[in-house]
Structure 1
C-alpha cells in the first residue's frame, strides 16, 4: 500500500509532498557524486567509504552552520536556488582552514509548508555548492513545522565532514613575525551581518531596485552567494608552505584574523590595502555605521586570508590565480598583542 495519511495532512503535514521533493532533489544530488559515496537519498543514513591511502594518520574535521537572516532576503525575492551555496560555503570554508578536504555534506531544511519545487530549488543550490567544493551531498532532512513557522517560511542549516593527514593540520603554531597575509577577495556580503543590513535598507515589503552607487540592483547584490575557497586553498597548500588560514565571517577582521595567530603576534593591515567593495561603502553611508563596526561585522571584501612566509607571497598569488582565485598582499604579521592593527 502506498504511504499517505489524510489525518496528518489535515494537521498540516503532507508526507506525499515530501516524497515528491525527494524525487526532485535526486537530479541535483547526482551531480555531487564522487568516489566514496555508497548510498543514495532515501535511506536512514548517508554512507561514505573513506579512502585514506597515502595518509599516515587521517583526522576527520567537521563543521556546521546556517546562512543567518540572509535567508529572509531569499524569501523576499522569491529566489531560492543560491542560498544553498551559502550554506555549503559557510561550512566547507571553515574546515579548509584546518587543511581539510571536504568529503560529504548533509543539509537540514525546516519549513512551514513543504512545497516540493521550492525545496528542490533550495537543494539545487546546496548541490551546486558541493560541486564547486568537490564534496558529495549524501543526505539531509526536510521537516514541515505547521503552526510553528508560517507556510512561506523556511530555514536552512548544513553539516560537512572532511579529512586531513594529522601532520598537515594547520594551526597558529607555525606563524611567525614577518609572515605575509594574503587576501582572497569576497564576492560580497557573504552570509553575515544581514540583521543590520535589513535595518539599514528597510528591506521588508520592497522589491528589488537599481542602486546607482552599486551600478547594480541592491537585492541582487546582497543575495550574491558566498565564495567557495576550498579548491584554490587546497591547491595552494600543495604548492606553498601555508602557516595558517582564516575564514572572514561574522565578527569581521577583528574577531576572525586573530584566530589564525598565536598569542603575542598581530596582523598589521593598512586600510588602503583593503579592496573594499562598493556594497560596504553603501552600508556604512546609509546606516551611518562607524568604520570600526564595519570591520567588526563584515568581511569588507576579504573572504579568506592565508598566512605564509613573506618570500612565498608572490608564488602564492600566482598559484591562486592559476586556480582562478584572485589574491593580493593584505598585510603582515608583527610582534604585538593587539590582534589586528588596522591603520
Structure 2
C-alpha cells in the first residue's frame, strides 16, 4: 500500500469536512436566538475554541472533543491508561483559550464489548487529567455498541465535554489583537491527539509508543498567566495546525519563526509528507500559542517557562496570511 502524502489521501479531506460542517452549523445557528434575556442565552457566535452562555455576572463555556484515531494506537499497543489524559486535555485546552477556568467534565465511552480491564485503565488517565486540571468529573455515559464500534481487538471510542467559567468582562475574544503584538509558543509533548489517521499510515508500529504520549495540559500555567498579564488571544494548536491562529481575529495575520520540529514530525516529512501539509495538520512541537503586547512579553515568558518550555515565535501583522520560517530546516512558506 502506498504511503499517503497528505491528510486527504489518508482518508480525511479537510475541505470536504469544512463544507459539511458549514451545512451543519448554518442550521444549528438558528438555536442561538433561544433563551434570549434568560440564564443560558448564547454569547457570541459558533466557531471559537469554546461556546459561551449567560450566567449572571459570569459566562459558562462549553467545549467537546474526542481523541480521534489515537484510540487505534492504544488498541494496537494494548495500553489504555493514558488516553483519558488526552480526552481531558483536548477539552480543557480549548476552554482556557477564551479565558475560561475548567470546572467540570463528563466523559463518553463507546465500546465494542464490555471490558472491566479497559475501563479501569481509561479511568486512570481520566483521573490524572482531572488532577492536572483541578477539575471534577461529575458524570458520563458508557455504551456497548458492537454493531457500530469496531477496532483492533477491543474497539472503543472516547470523547468528553468540559464546562468552564469566566467573568463576562474577562472573556478573551481576540478583539484587542493588533499588529506588532507578540506571539509566544508553548512546547507540546509530541503529536498530541490529532492527525493520527495520517501519522499511523506514514509511520511504523515501532513509532506507536511515541504517538501514545499524552497530550500536554496547559491549564495551570495559562490560569496563572491570565491572572497576572493581559492576554489578547490564545490558540490550541490541534487539527488544522497553524491555521488555528486565523480563528482569533479576522483580517489579522502572523509572521512566525518556529523552532525545528521534533524527530517524530521529521520522520513523516522524510517519508514524503510536504512541510506545508505538516504545519496545516500537526502542532509540530508547539501545542499552544499566546498573544500579548510587546511590553508584556518578558513577564509572560517568566510565568510560562515555570511550567513548560515557552518561547517567542513571531508577531501579529496586518496582512491576512501566516508567513512562516522554520529555523534549523531553513524552510519558508505562506498559509
Q: TM-score, normalised by structure 2?
A: 0.78
Assess if the C-alpha contact under 8 Å between 2:84 and 2:124 holds in 1: yes
Cα displacement string for residues 273-298 of structure 1 (whole angstroms, at most 9, x for unaligned residues): 32411111011112x01110010000
RMSD: 1.4
Cα displacement string for residues 193-249 of structure 1 (whole angstroms, at most 9, x for unaligned residues): 11111111254xxxxx3xxxxxxxx22211100000011001001111110000000
Q: Secondary structure at the match of 1:243?
A: strand
Cα displacement string for residues 3-51 of structure 1 (whole angstroms, at most 9, x for unaligned residues): xxxxxxxxxxxxxxxxxxxxxxxxxxxxxxxxxxxxxxxxxxxxxxxxx
Assess if the C-alpha contact under 8 Å between 1:56 and 1:165 holds in 2: no
What does 1:1-343 align with in structure 2 at a 5 Å threshold? 57-150=57-150, 152-201=154-203, 203=205, 209=206, 218-253=207-242, 255-260=243-248, 262-270=249-257, 273-286=258-271, 288-322=272-306, 324-338=307-321, 340-343=322-325
Q: Secondary structure at the match of 1:164?
A: strand
CA distance in 1, matches of 2:276, 2:107: 34
Q: Secondary structure at the match of 1:172?
A: coil
CA distance in 1, matches of 2:299, 2:264: 30
Offset of residue 325 of structure 1: 2.4
CA distance in 2, matches of 1:101, 1:95: 7
Offset of residue 267 of structure 1: 0.9
Offset of residue 90 of structure 1: 0.5
Q: Secondary structure at the match of 1:71?
A: helix
Assess if the C-alpha contact under 8 Å between 1:317 and 1:326 holds in 2: no
Query: Is the alpha carbon distance of 1:155 and 1:168 closer, same or farther for their aligned partners in structure 2, counting shifts above 3 Å?
Result: same
Q: Secondary structure at the match of 2:308?
A: coil
CA distance in 1, matches of 2:260, 2:216: 16
Q: Secondary structure at the match of 1:250?
A: coil
Match of 1:51 in 2: none
CA distance in 1, matches of 2:299, 2:119: 43
Match of 2:29 in 1: none
Offset of residue 56 of structure 1: 7.5
Assess if the C-alpha contact under 8 Å between 2:101 and 2:223 holds in 1: yes
Assess if the C-alpha contact under 8 Å between 1:244 and 1:308 holds in 2: yes
Assess if the C-alpha contact under 8 Å between 2:203 and 2:267 holds in 1: no
Query: What is the aligned length?
Result: 269
Q: TM-score, normalised by structure 1?
A: 0.76
Assess if the C-alpha contact under 8 Å between 2:85 and 2:215 holds in 1: yes
CA distance in 1, matches of 2:139, 2:246: 34
Offset of residue 145 of structure 1: 1.3
Divergent runs of 4+, >6 A: none
Assess if the C-alpha contact under 8 Å between 1:109 and 1:157 holds in 2: yes
